[in-house]
Amino acid sequence: MKPLAWIFGAGVGLRNSLYSHGLLKQHRLRGPTISIGNLSVGGSGKTPFVLLLGDLLRSRRLTFDVLSRGYGRRSKGVLEVDPGGSAQDFGDEPLLIARKLGVPVILGEDRYQAGVFTEEKFAPHMHLLDDGFQHRALARDFDIVLVTAEDARDSLLPAGRLREPLSSLSRADAVVLTSGASTDSFPLDGKQVWRVRRGISLPIVPDRAVAFCGIARPKSFFLQLQKAGVDVVAEAVYRDHHSYTERDIHELLALKKNSEATGFVTTEKDAINLGGYLSALQPLAMASVTMELIDATNAIDTMLRIIEERRQRT
């Protein structure tokens, strides 16, 4: 292991040990908390999974909110997402979640304070903790961790993309295998293993399209477009959570002209980050990530049963 990655890993191990032994305090909300997280930096499908889990809970008429840090937002402190607002104020992923689920999405660097805010405003109910696996200051009743095939062979930051070693999966209740991940590559003894199918949903796409995105794993998006039969004649990649500028729009329009494209295709998240520039790139097709949980009824039944048992013991 490279020296900086070793130092990072030692720090992560010490922090986790302090929480596990009660030397760092965890705060518990009145309503049950379900954490959705991962081991790596971006690209495992946390946001699509939050949307999937939210839909499954709504189908059972369960009331819940989403607690998020609001990565990339310019605002600070505890704040409720306005679905009609901007990514600059609320962050692209919380805004997408608020628009698609239609439930309260509360932002806060301190997720416990965000939870207290929503419980005071809406009364205690279930909380979905977005990107919560490393946010151990907030106690949770069920821990869901998404892993990818790349996680199994990756290294800790800064040498690789892992925020925690694979051994941290010992804290998880359910491990979700995504992006080709297999059970043989992870320590999963005694864990629930959930499998999902990922894909994309596309509206009518221009015959010759410029594909562009600012997401964690752009190659996956371009490969999905290829599998869907989209005729991509040019590609443009930006950093994850990129907030588009007038210069970007001029460059994309020039790329369209030079490649003789007839329009654009991008992701829902990028469409949010385009903001007021959205109309400048018409025709523009927006691809949404689809995710299906295999044997969803059994998975959700088991999760709710475990949560109820744990709540009765506290």
Average pLDDT, the chain: 95
Predicted confidence at residue 1, as pLDDT, reads: 57
**What pLDDT, on a 0 to 100 scale, did the predictor assign at position 31?**
97
Q: What pLDDT is attached to residue 71?
A: 87
Residue 35: its pLDDT value, please?
Answer: 98
CATH of domain 3-196+294-313: 3.40.50.300
Shared fold status for 3-196+294-313 and 207-282? yes
Q: Domain 207-282: which CATH class?
A: alpha beta
CA dihedral angle for residue 103, residue 108, residue 110, residue 116, rounded to 10 degrees: -50
Segments making up each domain of the chain, as ranges? 3-196+294-313, 207-282
Could you tell me the strand order of the sheet in which 33-38 lies? 79-80, 105-107, 64-68, 126-130, 33-38, 142-147, 174-177, 192-201, 284-293, 263-267, 209-213, 232-237
pLDDT in tens, the chain (314 residues): 578 899 999 999 999 999 999 999 999 999 999 999 999 997 789 999 999 999 999 999 999 999 999 988 989 999 999 999 999 999 999 999 999 999 999 999 999 999 999 999 998 899 999 999 999 999 999 999 999 999 999 999 999 999 999 999 999 999 999 988 999 999 999 899 999 998 899 999 999 999 999 999 899 999 999 999 999 999 999 999 999 999 999 999 999 999 999 999 999 999 999 999 999 999 999 999 899 999 999 999 999 999 999 998 87
Least Cα distance to 303 among 183, 187, 190, 143 occurs for 143
